[in-house]
């Protein structure tokens, strides 16, 4: 069956013979803007997700570290209550032991730093 009104038939926008140049221009602009948007906002959105996730993990890690240190001090205070000469609930020996552990760990890291520079 023949097209009843052949002059109303639309030529596709991608056809270069099309006289509908505003539609072709709008399509080209839309493609260009879309490609620029994909190349700019895509990486920015992924970067912002990484920043948010890493900040959240850092905050959770900081809180967990502080809570672990509090737990360690409380545990050392409870354990040093069994040492003769230390009354129950006194915390000086727990702080002395914890300070010694941190001092030894710091010295170890300091030696590793100096050893890497001499080589």
- pLDDT tens by residue, 64-84: 999 999 999 999 999 998 999
* CA dihedral (42, 43, 45, 50) positive or negative: positive
All residues at 6 or more sequence positions from 57 whose CB lies less than 8 Å from its CB, including other chains:
none
**pLDDT under 70 in the chain at which residues?**
1-18, 116-119
| CA–CA distance, 55 with 78 (Å, rounded to integer) | 35
pLDDT of 111: 93
pLDDT of 23: 86
pLDDT of 37: 86
| CA–CA distance, 47 with 30 (Å, rounded to integer) | 25
pLDDT of 88: 86
């Amino acid at each position: 069956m023949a097209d009843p009104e052949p002059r109303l038939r639309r030529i596709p926008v991608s056809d270069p013979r099309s006289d509908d140049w505003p539609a072709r221009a709008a399509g080209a602009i839309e493609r260009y803007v879309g490609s620029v948007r994909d190349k700019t906002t895509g990486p920015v959105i992924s970067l912002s997700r990484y920043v948010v996730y890493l900040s959240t993990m850092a905050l959770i890690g900081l809180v967990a570290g502080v809570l672990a240190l509090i737990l360690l001090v409380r545990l050392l205070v409870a354990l040093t209550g069994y040492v003769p000469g230390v009354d129950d609930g006194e915390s000086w020996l727990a702080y002395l032991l914890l300070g010694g552990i941190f001092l030894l760990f710091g010295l170890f890291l300091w030696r590793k730093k100096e050893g890497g520079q001499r080589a």
